[in-house]
Structure 1
């Protein structure tokens, strides 16, 4: 994948994600939207994460916040992020509480100015929270009470955060009701899934009933990582192939983004 390197991108731009089966470029505007992604290991989930983060990291009006329970997928971008949360439930909860406060403060400011939507800028950026493995925080680590609080806070941020300039991208290997509660997953405008192991997992990612209508992620080609379905708000799933970045390209863009954001020395 070739990305224009330079401090000239914006969250209001259409981000390039890959190509549809028809050959058209897949371009999504992520400003004021949230995305839920699922898919078994090797299905292209990390490819989608990297291609989105690469463009967000080069957008001057985006502040990146990463949640990485495995300390694998997002580590390459850690220096370009304002907040990086590893396998630490308490830090994850503190970060969500902080985002909730930011959201409430922005709404108070918007209300006082009689403005309906936050306008992103370098001084007042969009906060993009990327959760690499949602299941770790909703079903594995911490106490039952902490996991429930995590789900409650995240649901509030996804539900109310868009107009306040808070975008959530949540990914999980196994999409199921216990990992992505219905009250949470129904709030995501964009749904993406790579290959799934069951029709149920496919439907959790895309929405109930799509597997029966022919959009079953079990049917995706396991020999083609990135072969996937994308459901945009109000539409029907479309088959696509996620753009791919090599480790070298990721390191190159991440290093540039860190320098751009003043987090790494200029060589």
Structure 2
């Protein structure tokens, strides 16, 4: 019966009968060719141990390459470059093996090839080109087998939006949100702008968090409206504070606030232009004043014969509402309907006027935010939810069944949610964190910046 082979090898298709020459090519030359990057990089890295011998009197023919290798390893940037070369060579060799074991080889012995590789905190991000005669869907169907051969947590495949032969592949090796010391405690991630340097919302993208591969996630506020929803203690207020902090660090930006709890925006009072609390009439009056400012800007564009608002025409206005439900589902029906009509108008027409609406609420269903209002929000951020329907009310219908459900978020990981920006698939991200000390420091810096530009006509 014979014994099983000591080493597993994938089946390699051959067009003709296997000859001694083709066997050598398949089982000797090909593996050595795949090993070439790792062997060269490992040889140079080993030069750090052999370099001393070369300096101690090795013959020139032997000492020169050894000394060169030691010199390359002695320089930090070249050492890092060599280490990256070794890792990339190892990944390409193992990818070749995984693709063949998964049966992704074409009739002429071609497999999906790595075009671009980038290391990220959670693993690797690849751009892969499928060979002629293959489609990205085949790679997507076999991602489980590829992950098993690579011995990683998960492999994700997404087709490129511009080219059908390219696939974006994420090789997930570890969870960037996990705390290695205590998995039950989720560590906060400091906000990169917490130092308080001046910012410009017209130009700078606001850092919101890191995605589940460890890459930073930013969003440009002008022209956007954001909806933040989720269960209590899921991290909505922290996410809202990042946008408020970014606006505070722009001395020309204005912040108009609606705070039903009277505490979430309390620390931001020194940099707020307007604030309304639990009085529904005051909240409506403030919304009407903001719409008047929006109409003034459109009158300016009409008189100037332009369609685009320039930065010098007016600052970015951040219209932030915490606990939107208090206003949009108010017990006074007439006031509630008036407020909702104003909110829908502001979201529908305010984007071109550089008015950014940010609404934070618990479970923004149809009775909390009118559907017409909610559907105009270009950016959705769903924190932890208890039901798929609640998740879909934030991200959009059908997202939970497509695999983007906020119900799967661990209750211990505050600040983790699905971010769905227009034109992209939802991305699971963990928001940066600002504590009260950080907020006070940013507010003090923002107030000082506003005093410096107090003579400007915008202020």
In the superposition, the TM-score normalised over structure 2's length comes to 0.55
Q: Decide whether the 8 Å contact of 2:229 with 2:382 is kept in 1.
A: yes
> Following the alignment from structure 2 to structure 1, what is the Cα–Cα distance between the partners of residues 361 and 247?
20
> Following the alignment from structure 1 to structure 2, what is the Cα–Cα distance between the partners of residues 130 and 8?
19
The alignment partner of 1:37 has SS state of strand
1:261 aligns with 450
Among candidates 205, 208, 213, match of residue 17 of structure 1: 208
The alignment partner of 1:13 has SS state of coil
Q: Decide whether the 8 Å contact of 1:44 with 1:226 is kept in 2.
A: yes
1:171 partnered with 2:360: yes
Q: CA deviation at 1:73?
A: 1.1
Q: CA deviation at 1:33?
A: 0.7
Q: Decide whether the 8 Å contact of 1:12 with 1:30 is kept in 2.
A: no
> Following the alignment from structure 1 to structure 2, what is the Cα–Cα distance between the partners of residues 60 and 12?
14
Q: CA deviation at 1:70?
A: 0.4
> Following the alignment from structure 2 to structure 1, what is the Cα–Cα distance between the partners of residues 282 and 377?
24
Q: Decide whether the 8 Å contact of 2:201 with 2:221 is kept in 1.
A: no
1:205 partnered with 2:390: no
1:247 aligns with 436
1:136 partnered with 2:326: yes
**What's the C-alpha RMSD, in Å, of the aligned pairs?**
1.5
Among candidates 397, 405, 411, match of residue 216 of structure 1: 405
> Following the alignment from structure 2 to structure 1, what is the Cα–Cα distance between the partners of residues 282 and 353?
22
Q: Decide whether the 8 Å contact of 1:64 with 1:83 is kept in 2.
A: yes
In the superposition, the TM-score normalised over structure 1's length comes to 0.94
Q: CA deviation at 1:157?
A: 0.5
1:126 aligns with 316
1:149 aligns with 338
Task: Count residues with an aligned counterpart.
Answer: 261
The Cα offsets for residues 127-153 of structure 1, whole Å up to 9 and x where unpaired, read as 110001110101135x10000000000
The alignment partner of 1:70 has SS state of coil
> Following the alignment from structure 2 to structure 1, what is the Cα–Cα distance between the partners of residues 333 and 244?
31
1:26 aligns with 217
Q: CA deviation at 1:18?
A: 0.6
The alignment partner of 1:229 has SS state of strand
Q: Decide whether the 8 Å contact of 1:13 with 1:29 is kept in 2.
A: yes
User: What are the ranges of 5 or more consecutive residues in structure 1 without an aligned counterpart?
Assistant: none
More relative contact order, 1 or 2 (CA 8 Å, 6+ apart): 1
Q: Which has the larger radius of gyration?
A: 2
Q: CA deviation at 1:256?
A: 1.9
More helix by share: 2
> Following the alignment from structure 1 to structure 2, what is the Cα–Cα distance between the partners of residues 230 and 247?
25
User: What are the ranges of 5 or more consecutive residues in structure 2 without an aligned counterpart?
Assistant: 1-189, 453-459
